[in-house]
Amino acid sequence: MGAWLDYTINGLIVGNIYALLAVGLALIFGVSHLINFAQGSIYTAGAFIGWTCAQRLGTPLPVTMAAVVLGCAALGVVIERVGLRPLAGSARIAPLLATIGISFVLDQGLQLLYSPDPRSLPSPLPAWRIQVGRGTIGALDILIAATGLVSAAVLFGFLRFSRLGWAVRATAQDSEAARQMGVNTDAVNRTVFAIAAGLGGLSGLLVGMYYNHIDTAMSFQATLKGVVAQVIGGMGNVPGAIAGSLLLGLTESYGVALFGSSYRNLFAFVLLLIVLVLRPNGLFAGRQAMSPEPLTGTFIAPSRPWDVPRWAVAVCVLLAALLPFLPNSAYALQVLTNAWLYALLAISLTLVAGTLGQVSLGHAGLLLIGAYASALLALDSGLPVWLSIPAAGFVTAALGTALTWPAFRLRSHYVSIATLGIGEIVGLVILNWESLTHGPMGVTGVPPLTAGTVELDSPQASYWVALAVLVLLGLMQSRLLGTHLGRTFRAIRDDDVAARACGVSLDRYKGLAFAVSGFAAGISGAISAHLYSYINNETFTSQVSVLALTMVILGGMGNVLGAVIGAVALTGLPEVFRFTAEYRQLIYGLVLLLMIRFRPQGILGTA
Amino acid sequence: MTQPLLSVRGLQRRFGGITAVKGANLDLCEGELLSVIGPNGAGKTTLFNLISGHDRPDGGTVRFGGVEVTGSTPERLAALGLARTFQHGRVFANLTVRDNVLMGTHSRMKLARPGPPLLGALRELFLALIRPPGVRAEEQALRREVEDILHLFGDRLIPRLDRPAYSLSYANRRRLEIARALALRPRLLMLDEPTAGMNETETAEMRTIIGQLKARGQTILLIEHKLDLVMQLSDRVIAMDDGAEIAAGTPAAVRHDPAVVEAYLGHRHMGGEQTPDAVALEASP
């Protein structure tokens, strides 16, 4: 029993930390309908500001905490200015994508500043623990709980009693009306970002001290947890976010108690999906009076795509096919093979994100399914590689569509969050389903590419295989877009209500698009597995999903050729300029930000 | 009397504490044009949404073509031959005019027939990819039909066949939406304020078009604020206020019904040739 009390206390403490993240997200969503994906980066920044103060400058804890809050609040103001305000009036999803770009930039900035090595951040508090029943509570637990309570109280007082707090609430209810009444909504947004960032940074500091460990890679998980907690509580609902956070903390803690720590995140994401499917407005939303606000408006900038003549495409393909005959092309071949595989992923994503308008952030999950399906079929079932790869494509099409099925009834932001969760779940299931996937060990000795008796593992052969598959699937997708299916997908993207009135079954066509998309992504993952010869659950992470989305936006949403160009640009250019890995993420983030801001229709235009 | 095409009995819809539709009843026979009028917030559009499957009723029944369709999905109703337009206009902004209207033919396409679950969808994908002659012929026939439908609107839309819908004027978008609904070859056409935001000339043009459709035998359920238009076109009129029917009958009878006059007081005078303030209220998209 004592252990259970400990798990409960631990769950509540962790929940309190999530609450500091989620409250900020809820406030921001409340006033600007934006999910701030940079929240986790601010959390990490808070941890590092705290580390600098405490370890380098030797400041006492209250000063450290104040520095973290102020530093992060300033950061929040900058993010609002750069990421949000210039995008007023663009598609709802645009600022969300911008915050993803900002998070890339911030994370890599921190990594360059502090190096990726983890650091310890010891708690300066005394190490005593009090006995509560048969569990114990330490000084830091009390500090975290107190911080949570005090922050909630201050926030409540601010929103309830200060003029600016009223302005925030007015803006949340109806920003247009608030502006008409003379509320400075820019100031409101700035304030909300400052509060959210201050709380997020504080959360990072407390977590760092709680685990005595900080590193620059902890942002993404923090963002995810905050978002999950917020969705559970209801987007934009501040008390709901606190309750959702505590519920999430407890669920994780009990999940860990029952199944072990590798299940922690699985529980979080399964909870997310259950809530999204059953109560998309959150557990604490009253019975919805009106239908939930339609979060329509995908990231589609009205534009006419560039009509690239067929002969030009054919010439490019021919040139690409002749490249291996050039002397000293080994390095270029390696880079471009990788680019072709990314391009496969990008055409897969551009179909659902661009043509169908469902901005998926979970395509890494499809790559993983494809990679594992082909590797395991070849290794454990002895299927020849030239059969296991297409088989993996079909497996991914079927499994990917089935997994995304629950998200078909969702819209806009919710689709992105749900697919992000689904992508994470795929990785976590692979990690935990040891009997099938070899678990955390990964799969070693994946056989190289062969076709019958022909070995295709030379760089030239791999290159041609990847190029040929890309051309084939790219042509297939273009052909598909020219039929009534392309028209129907785009109609669903533009207005799903009107599409249904025309007799379009959303499930059927979303299913078809995700199946075609899953096939291409699965093939890409499968070929990668045979080229890498080793894969594990972290071979493709959510960062890959975001990178693919950046490629798709760069090329022009829904544009097949654009997706290929985006993939080549983002995998090839960093090589050309010999950027090191850390700078690459920075570049991806900047490209994403600049495209959203200045050329949302991408290079070739949306199709 | 023959069986009505559409038959609504005791239809109810509550939003929280508000009852938007309180037990609506209506019958609509083939070839008839029935108008629903009433002040803003009377529940007309909610009634439309309940009939077309875009919202689910809390009580009551809807029968369409002799089939019980209460709470059915919009796509099923479309397949049964019910087409509608929306109050604020919903065209596919990034699709061309042609593709918008082609979307209206979706439920009639042989290629898109539901078929058995999963297999039907995979068959559709496969046929779309290999494009056998039958599929190509069907698409060609539908494309010709689209142009025929658009000719109804004179030279308003035909010259803009390959323009994206977002580049159209507001009035043209409303026309396009009607064209899309007609492409379904509907047994019942439901028009939600087809002339909202249109000027006098455009309204007159729309009146002619609706009159032509009616003359062809098209069954129409119309929500409209411009009473001139309603009076000229309707076979029967139902007036609603506050979620309930307050009068029904011939246009002339409803127009002079004391309850209707009462409901409209404060909004505008009944029967005036001009209703500028009402137009202004309804015009904003």
- Asked if pLDDT for residue A308 goes beyond 90, the answer is no
Q: Which amino acid is at A123?
A: S
DSSP state of A352: I
- Asked if pLDDT for residue A66 goes beyond 50, the answer is yes
Beta bridge partners of B13: B21
Can you give the three-state secondary structure of chain B, one letter per residue?
CCCCCEEEEEEEEEECCEEEEEEEEEEECCCCEEEEECCCCCCHHHHHHHHHCCCCCCEEEEEECCEECCCCCHHHHHHHCEEECCCCCCCCCCCEHHHHHHHHCHHHCCCCCCCCCCHHHHHHHHHHHHCCHHHHHHHHHHHHHHHHHHHCCCCCCHHHCCCEHHHCCHHHHHHHHHHHHHHCCCCEEEEECCCCCCCHHHHHHHHHHHHHHHHCCCEEEEECCCHHHHHHHCCEEEEEECCEEEEEECHHHHHCCHHHHHHHCCCCCCCCCCCHHHHHHHHCC
- Asked if pLDDT for residue A286 goes beyond 60, the answer is no
State the smallest CA–CA distance between residue A297 and chain B in angstroms.
11
Mean pLDDT of A552-568: 93
Indicate the residue of B78, B79, B121 with minimum beta-carbon distance to A512: B121
Residue A549 binned pLDDT confidence (cut-offs 50, 70, 90): very high
Which tens digit of pLDDT belongs to each residue from A73-97? 999 999 898 878 888 777 777 888 8
Can you give the three-state secondary structure of A526-545, one letter per residue?
HHHHHHHCCECCCCCCHHHH
pLDDT for the residue A125? 81
**Partner-chain contact A501 B74, CB within 8 Å:** yes
Which tens digit of pLDDT belongs to each residue from A224-277? 889 899 888 888 788 888 899 999 999 989 988 888 888 888 888 888 888 888
Residues of A in Cβ contact (< 8 Å) with B121 = 508, 511-512
Strands ordered across the beta sheet of B219-223: B82-84, B188-192, B219-223, B33-37, B236-241, B244-249
CA A35 to CA A100: how far, in whole Å? Answer: 10
pLDDT for the residue A528? 95
Among residues of chain A, what percentage have pLDDT more than 70?
95
Verify that A442 and A358 share a domain, yes or no: yes
The count of C-alpha atoms lying within 13 angstroms of the C-alpha of A255, restricted to the half-sphere facing its C-beta, is 17
pLDDT for the residue B93? 87
Average per-residue pLDDT for chain A: 87
Residue of B nearest to A496 (CA): B92
Task: Say whether A363 sits in a helix, a strand or coil.
Answer: helix
Which tens digit of pLDDT belongs to each residue from B196-246? 888 999 999 999 999 999 999 999 999 988 888 999 999 999 999 888 888
- Find the helix or strand (DSSP H, E) in which A269 lies: helix A264-278
Of the residues A232, A256, A278, which one is the last residue of a structural domain? A278
Q: Is A268 exposed, middle or buried (0-12, 13-18, 19+ CB in 10 A)?
A: buried
Q: Which of A475, A505, A509 to mutate to test the interface with B (most CBs of B within 10 A)?
A: A505
Indicate the residue of A291, A484, A516 with minimum beta-carbon distance to B111: A484
CA torsion angle for B67, B69, B74, B79 (degrees, to 10)?
-10
Q: Which of A542, A549, A541 is nearest to A588 (CA)?
A: A549
Mean pLDDT of A591-603: 85
- Residue A372 placed within a domain: yes
**Partner-chain contact B90 A500, CB within 8 Å:** no
CA B79 to CA A495: how far, in whole Å? Answer: 19
- Residue A255 placed within a domain: yes
Indicate the residue of A287, A488, A503 with minimum beta-carbon distance to B78: A503
Helix A39-51 vs helix A185-211: crossing angle, to nearest 10: 60
Most confident of A16-20, A412-416, A486-490: A486-490
Q: Which of A479, A494, A504, A516 to mutate to test the interface with B (most CBs of B within 10 A)?
A: A494
Which tens digit of pLDDT belongs to each residue from A392-449? 999 999 999 999 998 888 877 888 889 999 999 999 999 999 888 888 889 998 898 8
Verify that A349 and A489 share a domain, yes or no: yes
Q: Which amino acid is at B249?
A: G
Q: Which amino acid is at A433?
A: W
Q: Which amino acid is at B199?
A: N
Q: Return the number of other C-beta atoms located less than 10 Å from residue A368's C-beta.
A: 29
pLDDT for the residue A159? 84
pLDDT for the residue A2? 61
Verify that A454 and A379 share a domain, yes or no: yes
**Partner-chain contact B103 A502, CB within 8 Å:** yes
**Partner-chain contact B52 A490, CB within 8 Å:** no
We report the CATH number of the domain holding residue A102 as 1.10.3470
Verify that A139 and A271 share a domain, yes or no: yes
Mean pLDDT of A119-128: 81
DSSP state of A215: -
CA B162 to CA A351: how far, in whole Å? Answer: 22
Verify that A527 and A590 share a domain, yes or no: yes
Verify that A274 and A337 share a domain, yes or no: no
- Residue A47 placed within a domain: yes
**Partner-chain contact A484 B75, CB within 8 Å:** no
Q: Evaluate whether A110 touches A42 at the Cβ level (below 8 Å).
A: no
Verify that A355 and A258 share a domain, yes or no: no
pLDDT for the residue B281? 37
Q: Which of B38, B97, B53, B60 is nearest to B190 (CA)?
A: B53
Verify that A256 and A358 share a domain, yes or no: no
> What domain range is A565 assigned to?
333-598
- Residue A322 placed within a domain: no
- Phi, psi torsion values for A276, nearest 5 degrees: -60, -35
Measured in Å, how far apart are chain A's first and last C-alpha atoms? 60
Among residues of chain B, what percentage have pLDDT more than 70?
92
Q: Which of A303, A477, A484, A517 to mutate to test the interface with B (most CBs of B within 10 A)?
A: A484
Give B158's contacts (C-beta < 8 A, 6+ positions apart).
B147, B150, B151
Helix ranges restricted to H, A212-237: 219-233
- Asked if pLDDT for residue A210 goes beyond 80, the answer is yes
Verify that A191 and A259 share a domain, yes or no: yes
Which tens digit of pLDDT belongs to each residue from A155-186? 888 888 888 888 888 887 777 888 888 888 88
pLDDT for the residue A299? 56
- Find the helix or strand (DSSP H, E) in which A28 lies: helix A2-32
Give B100's contacts (C-beta < 8 A, 6+ positions apart).
B91, B92, B165, B176, B179, B180
- Residue A307 placed within a domain: no
Of the residues A211, A244, A278, which one is the last residue of a structural domain? A278
Centroid of chain to Cα A441: 25
Q: What is the largest CA-CA distance in chain A?
A: 78
- Residue A69 placed within a domain: yes
Domains of chain B: 6-283 (3.40.50.300)
- Asked if pLDDT for residue A307 goes beyond 90, the answer is no
- Find the helix or strand (DSSP H, E) in which A131 lies: strand A129-132
Verify that A420 and A271 share a domain, yes or no: no
Which tens digit of pLDDT belongs to each residue from A349-400? 999 999 999 989 999 999 999 999 999 999 989 899 999 999 999 999 999 9
Verify that A274 and A350 share a domain, yes or no: no
pLDDT for the residue A93? 73
DSSP state of A356: S
Q: What is the pTM of this model?
A: 0.90
Verify that A342 and A258 share a domain, yes or no: no
Mean pLDDT of B43-66: 91
- Asked if pLDDT for residue A473 goes beyond 60, the answer is yes
Residues of B in Cβ contact (< 8 Å) with A497 = 54, 74, 86, 90
- Residue A227 placed within a domain: yes
Indicate the residue of A480, A498, A499 with minimum beta-carbon distance to B86: A498
State the smallest CA–CA distance between residue A44 and chain B in angstroms.
40
Looking up tokens 């900047």 gives: A590
Q: Flag whether residue B55 sits within 8 Å of chain A, measured between CB atoms.
A: yes
User: Rounded to the nearest 5 degrees, what angle is found at the Cα of A399, between the Cα atoms of A397 and A404?
Assistant: 95
- Residue A303 placed within a domain: no
Q: Which residue has the higher pLDDT, A383 or A2?
A: A383
Q: What is the largest CA-CA distance in chain B?
A: 64
Q: DSSP characters for A95-127?
A: HHHHHHHHHHHHHHHHHHHH-S--B-----S--
Q: DSSP characters for A569-584?
A: HHHHHHHHTT--HHHH
**Partner-chain contact A494 B92, CB within 8 Å:** yes
pLDDT for the residue B273? 43
pLDDT for the residue A311? 92
Of the residues A254, A278, A302, which one is the last residue of a structural domain? A278
How many distinct structural domains can be found in chain A?
A: 2
Q: Which of B33, B45, B47 is nearest to B5 (CA)?
A: B33
- Asked if pLDDT for residue B193 goes beyond 60, the answer is yes
Residue of B nearest to A398 (CA): B118
Number of residues in chain B: 285
Tokens of B76: 């099923």
Residues of B in Cβ contact (< 8 Å) with A515 = 125
- Asked if pLDDT for residue B276 goes beyond 60, the answer is no
Give A602's contacts (C-beta < 8 A, 6+ positions apart).
A552, A553, A554, A555, A556, A557, A559, A562, A566, A595
